[in-house]
Chain A
């Protein structure tokens, strides 16, 4: 049965890649799960050294890629970002031999927020002895299970539900993890830090201690500013963005746990990438990888697709910052504005992977964009985006409104953006998920990789 499933899966993958259908990331797994619902646990039980799972609203893809860079080559990784169960299984099928065998040390999997509970409950613990390959008992004992939880922000309420609901589902499933597993948590996110309170697993915290990076005032797109222990209001010594910062409860004394790792030079610009780096380094240390090795691996890190990805177009550049929810959008906007852009293209789509509801753009602080920057709006919901930009104006018909370009056609919008900048300069594109794939398709001919 297994060889047949693997073969079918591999064939589907091949066909969809060949014809550039773009869904090669999920169909093989989808079919395999239909034929053998427990195929995920079948695959992970074959891993030699362990499984690393990364979840959180923002930074999954980048963090998983950093971890992979640190831990080496013999790794299964869902690098296309297909992070539902079907995507995870597909990543295994792609690397499996024709008889369904996996020969890899680790799997590094980014997992969707809603899929995390079912992915974790698919892990049979203690690791079942892998009888097929006669792996010794000691090896099984050293096999690692590491769960990395980055953050929780409001994102696609129509699909995910409320942030609190996700956190409570996570808590339930994390409580079932055994004592020799490791859970790596962001100390600066009060909701994530709270998850570490009642676990049997070893808990490792990471956080940032950079008072120079505190925001002058709290952003609007903020969740969980109430204490998870007592419901009292949380106070901050300082906030980095959204609700991430050095927090404490004014009522019960609950406070940010002391991080096991603070501050590490980041592989990419943006404070959010410092968090991603800290999380990846924590995994490296947990696996006993030498500090020097971690440093050199990260020094040669290249961004994941769509995440600060660069393209050369003639003698001009395009840099893309995937921006799919208020916290992420604010963070990429701030990073982009530090790079002194002349022209910004904002692409808003409302397809399933973006969320059908575009209300969230009103939680993004677009007001921070200086008036001398040319803004172009595009995407399926170009008028919603344009309207959001209009309502950043203090006066009607001011400089920004005169400069605002609204272009339904994405290809034309990119052309207009490039025309607005001089030779050697960069056009910055901030797209939602499906819009990012479309931009890649226009620029490179391929949506994902």
Chain B
């Protein structure tokens, strides 16, 4: 299982505008999980005014959360590149959008004072902020993945000192959002909420998946404690780039799963 002739370019959206609280963890996680397998990983920063070509060269697109003022700058720039991103994602380029970034990807985002901000329209959903009267959705959260999630190799686990940790279908994280997202009829949710609020605190769903793009409210460093999601993104990116299914070299993920299980236990999820 030699990986050293593979190379991935990871596109990091607006590192100094959309990196509010530990979002960098996702980039570090992907970079290291590639490096530890001898897959060359290069981080490509996408900033205001980055040329289309540089975006098109990314094999994976990662977005984090922004503060209000920064989000305005981001959405202005993103809308200029709407067709570039749409084309990439329609062709299957994988992406992960966490924290507030789902608000940028739907049809629109209605702010607390009733302003309707257009989104990229990649996902069939809308997001609403009901003003400061309605409390923010804050806290630890657990979801159960419900979309067709294939692992490489299928059904594999990682081995450490005789213990086999099987890949879980749970996701652990933290959410902190004021906006509430409502999926359209054609939109596939990412996970079922076991603990926390999820998209809107009403329908029990968390995030959405479109082609190979995941958008969810888990904020900050989602991937380190959810190595299965990290590996899925890496495997998908390799598959799309090299047009073949590539079996990833297993890593010793004992500590990752220990951290994952610790949260499940802390939140009484069995």
Contacts and interface: CB of A to CB of B under 8 A. Distances in A.
A387 B33 CA distance: 13
B32 interface: yes
Contacts of B225: 384, 387
B25 interface: yes
B222 to A, nearest CB: 9
A226 B68 CA distance: 13
A396 B258 contact: no
Could you say which of A220, A356, A361, A391 has the most chain B C-beta atoms within 10 Å of its C-beta? A391
A51 B20 CA distance: 35
Nearest to A386: B255
A164 interface: yes
Interface stretch (A12-20, A86-94, A154-162, A420-428): A154-162
Interface residues on B, range: 35 or more
A384 B259 contact: yes
Contacts of A446: none
B174 A164 contact: no
Given A222-B16, A362-B24, A363-B22, A391 B174 contact: no
A175 B38 CA distance: 57
A386 B256 CA distance: 9
Interface string B22-57: 111100110010011000000000000000000000
Residue in A154, A162, A163, A357 whose Cβ sees the most chain B Cβ within 10 Å: A357
Given A158-B138, A356-B140, A360-B22, A226 B32 contact: no
A391 B29 contact: yes
B24 A363 contact: yes
A179 interface: no
Given A157-B20, A222-B16, A383 B262 contact: yes
Contacts of A386: 255, 259
A229 to B, nearest CB: 13
B54 to A, nearest CB: 19
Interface in A338-375: 356-363
Contacts of A397: 252
Interface in B109-151: 138-140
A226 B14 CA distance: 13
Given A225-B16, A384-B225, A359 B220 contact: yes
A360 B21 contact: yes
A359 B219 CA distance: 8
B247 to A, nearest CB: 18
A384 B19 CA distance: 19
B162 to A, nearest CB: 17
Contacts of A154: 20-21
A315 interface: no
A387 B255 contact: yes
A395 interface: yes
Interface in B240-265: 251-252, 255-256, 258-259, 262
A134 interface: no
Contact of B224 (A225, A356, A391, A393): A391
A225 to B, nearest CB: 6
Give chain B's interface secondary structure class.
Answer: mixed
Nearest to A394: B35
Given A226-B69, A357-B176, A383 B35 contact: no
A387 B219 contact: no
B73 interface: yes
Interface in A380-404: 383-384, 386-388, 390-391, 393-397
Interface in B65-101: 67-70, 73
A358 B219 CA distance: 11
Given A226-B70, A357-B176, A391-B28, A162 B251 contact: no
A176 interface: no
A396 B36 contact: yes
B255 A164 contact: no
Given A154-B20, A362-B221, A383 B36 contact: no
Interface string B212-242: 0000000111001100000000000000000
A37 interface: no
B21 A357 contact: yes
A361 B22 contact: yes
B32 A391 contact: yes
Given A386-B259, A396-B36, A359 B67 contact: no
A362 B139 CA distance: 18
A361 B221 CA distance: 9
Contacts of B70: 226
Contacts of A250: none
A128 interface: no
A231 interface: yes
Contacts of A356: 138-140, 174
Contacts of A357: 21, 138, 174, 176, 220
Contacts of B251: 396
B68 A387 contact: no
Contacts of B139: 158, 356
Interface of B: 16, 19-25, 28-29, 32, 35-36, 67-70, 73, 138-140, 174, 176, 219-221, 224-225, 251-252, 255-256, 258-259, 262
30 contacts: A154-B20, A157-B21, A158-B176, A220-B19, A220-B24, A222-B16, A231-B69, A356-B174, A357-B220, A359-B21, A362-B23, A362-B220, A363-B19, A363-B21, A383-B258, A383-B262, A384-B259, A387-B225, A387-B255, A387-B256, A387-B259, A388-B25, A391-B25, A391-B29, A391-B32, A393-B32, A395-B35, A396-B36, A396-B252, A397-B252
Interface of A: 154, 157-158, 162-165, 220, 222, 225-226, 231, 356-363, 383-384, 386-388, 390-391, 393-397, 406
Given A363-B24, A384-B225, 11 more contacts: A157-B20, A164-B68, A225-B16, A226-B70, A359-B22, A362-B23, A362-B224, A383-B258, A391-B28, A391-B224, A396-B252
9 closest A-B pairs by beta carbon, nearest first, are: A359-B220, A359-B22, A362-B25, A383-B259, A362-B22, A396-B36, A162-B67, A362-B221, A357-B174
